[in-house]
Structures are given as structure tokens and as C-alpha cells.
């Protein structure tokens, strides 16, 4: 077996091939190879830069990684649909040819029996057989449904080269026996199939630093300072033992909290230090009898 080499992988498959009789199948195979050859020639990829495998109703091409992928994609998006339209215009209803196509990149080795071996090739074949791609072709007015691998989209398509509009490719999730695969479908997803989770390829392959503090350093923001509630001042024993002097003016009345009402019945003697403001916790209270708050009065203490 040869060493794995980087390749561009092209797969094209005929829709409803097994529904035709032998004569129709032979005709469709000739049309498939003719269309493939024309597309590769228009992309500047001659026979010396590619290997072909015959799959009956499909064709597989391993293309030299140095061949221009952009030229191949332009041929598939423009030349192949035009060729299919011309062929089908002259063909009977039973000889109409419509194609599913895959373009991918990866490493593939060739064994001593000319067999092709590689995980990237297997993944490309799974995209070709995906129900999503089959459904997309059934709903298309055109005769080609094309899907590209995530790696090819990231490396080529998303850069919006001339003739390869990145906005026409949509991320899709493809279910396979080995789990879901992410790929990019040219044109809208078919009915009943949702696009992959929102986000462009840029977002998928760029570290945005989500969850970090501004600046992207990864440091956590400083915790918010918790304010300690202020405790109302209570007079100590020395203050409580003081007797107010007779004939002195009481301390100015503290302003009650809005809506609070204070009723004092009897003589009220206020002495000692009186601290006003929100440090008094009495509101809406009613005090009866004599109230003595010991110590000498300090008129402006509040």
C-alpha cells in the first residue's frame, strides 16, 4: 500500500439509477463520465492529475492536492448544471440524469489492488449517501445537489472566492452510523431538515474567549463589595445612669421616617447623646408614661 497522500475527493452519483433498465443505465453511465470529464477539463485538471474509480451508478475521483480546488468548485457550480440542462432537454423522461455531488479533502492511500483506503474518503462517501443530500436533490429545480466537507468549507469556500459565493452554502448536520457529521450544503436545506446550530465558520474555528473577563485574560472579575448593614446605636450603661439637668432644653426632635407617628403621653426627658438619622430603629411606635434617657442633654448632638 502506498503512503497516504493529501487529495481532493470528488464524488458524483446518479439519482434513481437502479430504477432504470439496462439500456437506460448504460446511457446514464456514458453521460455521467462525459459530464465529469468536461467539468475536470474546464477546471484545468487533466488525466495525469487524477485517479478514477468506477462505482456503477457513481464516479469517484482522487485529485492531486496541488490542483486548484477553486476552479473545480466553479466548474461544479456553473458548468455541470449547464451540461445537465442540455442533456436532459434532449432526453426522454426515463433517461433524465440528476446528480448528487460531494467535494472533500483528506488523506487517501492506494493499496496493491488499486483499492482506496482512508477515513476521509469514508466520510465523503457517507456524505454522498446521506438522506439530507438525497432530499435536497428531490426538492431542487436544478439537476445537481452539492455538499462539501467542513474542512473544505473552512479552507476554501468561506473565503468567498470569485464564483464561489460562501453565502450560498449552509451548515448542516449529517447523521451517519459513526455519529453526526458537520458539512455545508449548497442551497437551502430541504424541508424537515434544520440548519446546524447558529454560527459561522469563523465562530466555529475562532476562540472568542467566551466566559472570560473583558480583555480575554481569563481572569475572573472582582467580586462585588457587600455593604455591611449599620446597627442602631444603643447607649451604654454609663450613659443610661446619667440624670438630665433641670431647666435645660431637650435635644432637637429627631425627624421620624416618612409615615411614622410618635405619641408621647406624660413628661419626656431626653438626655445623654442622641444620635439622629437612620440609626434609630423605632417607627410607628407609641410610647406611654415617663421616658428617661439619662445623662446631660446636648442640644446639637443630632
Q: How distant, in Å, are the alpha carbons of 14, 87, 125 from that of 103? A: 16, 23, 10
- DSSP one-letter code for 10: E
Instruction: Answer yes or no: is pLDDT of 205 > 50.
Output: no
Determine the Cα–Cα distance for residues 98 and 10; give it in Å rounded to an integer.
16
Q: How confident is the model at residue 290 (pLDDT cuts 50, 70, 90)?
A: low
pLDDT of res. 114: 84
| Overall average pLDDT of the 177-192 stretch | 91
Instruction: Answer yes or no: is pLDDT of 201 > 50.
Output: no
Per-domain boundaries in the chain? 5-205, 237-297
| Overall average pLDDT of the 229-256 stretch | 49
Instruction: Answer yes or no: is pLDDT of 84 > 70.
Output: yes
Is domain 5-205 annotated with CATH 3.30.70.1230? yes
| Overall average pLDDT of the 269-279 stretch | 49
- CB distance 39 to 76 below 8 Å: yes
pLDDT of res. 119: 94
| Overall average pLDDT of the 238-246 stretch | 48
Q: How confident is the model at residue 147 (pLDDT cuts 50, 70, 90)?
A: very high
Range of lowest pLDDT (97-106, 126-135, 202-211): 202-211
| Overall average pLDDT of the 18-44 stretch | 95
The larger pLDDT score, comparing residue 22 to residue 242, is at 22
Instruction: Answer yes or no: is pLDDT of 275 > 90.
Output: no
Q: Which of 22, 56, 59 is nearest to 37 (CA)?
A: 59
Instruction: Answer yes or no: is pLDDT of 176 > 90.
Output: no
Write the DSSP assignment of 246-267 as a string of letters.
TTPPPPPPPPPPTT---EEES-
Instruction: Answer yes or no: is pLDDT of 157 > 70.
Output: yes
pLDDT of res. 182: 96
Range of lowest pLDDT (118-127, 143-152, 287-296): 287-296
Determine the Cα–Cα distance for residues 271 and 82; give it in Å rounded to an integer.
104
Range of lowest pLDDT (63-72, 141-150, 244-253, 262-271): 244-253
Residue carrying the nine cell digits 469514508:
122
Q: How confident is the model at residue 222 (pLDDT cuts 50, 70, 90)?
A: very low
Q: Which of 110, 107, 108, 106 is nearest to 2 (CA)?
A: 110
| Overall average pLDDT of the 197-225 stretch | 37
- What predicted TM-score, i.e. pTM, was given to this entire model? 0.65
Residues in CB range of 102: below 8 A, 6 or more apart: 9, 10, 11, 124, 125, 127, 128, 133, 146, 147, 148, 149
| Overall average pLDDT of the 268-293 stretch | 50
Q: What are phi and psi of 229, to 5 degrees?
A: -60, 145
Amino acid at each position: 500500500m502506498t503512503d497516504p497522500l493529501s487529495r481532493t475527493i470528488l464524488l458524483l452519483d446518479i439519482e434513481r439509477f437502479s430504477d432504470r433498465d439496462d439500456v437506460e443505465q448504460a446511457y446514464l453511465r456514458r453521460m455521467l463520465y462525459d459530464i465529469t470529464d468536461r467539468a475536470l477539463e474546464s477546471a484545468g485538471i487533466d488525466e495525469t492529475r487524477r485517479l478514477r474509480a468506477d462505482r456503477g451508478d457513481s464516479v469517484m475521483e482522487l485529485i492531486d492536492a496541488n490542483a486548484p480546488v477553486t476552479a473545480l468548485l466553479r466548474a461544479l457550480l456553473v458548468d455541470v448544471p449547464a451540461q445537465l440542462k442540455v442533456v436532459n432537454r434532449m432526453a426522454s423522461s426515463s433517461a433524465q440524469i440528476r446528480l448528487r455531488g460531494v467535494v472533500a479533502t483528506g488523506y487517501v492511500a492506494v493499496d496493491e489492488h488499486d483499492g482506496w483506503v482512508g477515513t476521509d474518503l469514508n466520510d465523503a462517501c457517507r456524505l454522498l449517501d446521506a438522506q439530507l443530500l438525497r432530499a435536497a436533490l428531490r426538492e431542487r429545480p436544478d439537476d445537481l445537489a452539492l455538499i462539501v466537507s467542513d474542512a473544505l468549507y473552512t479552507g476554501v469556500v468561506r473565503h468567498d472566492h470569485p464564483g464561489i459565493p460562501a453565502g450560498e452554502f449552509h451548515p448542516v448536520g449529517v447523521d451517519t452510523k459513526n455519529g453526526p457529521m458537520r458539512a455545508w450544503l449548497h442551497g437551502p436545506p430541504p424541508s424537515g431538515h434544520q440548519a446546524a446550530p447558529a454560527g459561522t465558520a469563523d465562530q466555529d474555528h475562532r476562540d472568542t474567549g467566551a466566559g472570560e473577563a473583558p480583555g480575554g485574560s481569563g481572569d475572573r472579575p472582582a467580586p462585588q463589595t457587600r455593604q455591611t448593614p449599620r446597627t442602631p446605636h444603643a447607649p451604654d450603661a454609663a450613659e443610661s445612669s446619667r440624670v438630665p439637668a433641670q431647666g435645660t432644653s431637650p435635644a432637637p426632635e429627631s425627624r421620624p421616617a416618612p409615615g411614622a407617628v410618635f405619641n408621647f403621653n406624660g413628661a419626656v426627658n431626653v438626655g445623654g447623646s442622641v444620635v439622629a438619622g437612620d440609626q434609630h430603629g423605632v417607627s410607628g411606635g407609641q410610647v406611654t408614661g415617663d421616658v428617661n434617657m439619662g445623662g446631660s442633654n446636648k442640644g446639637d448632638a443630632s
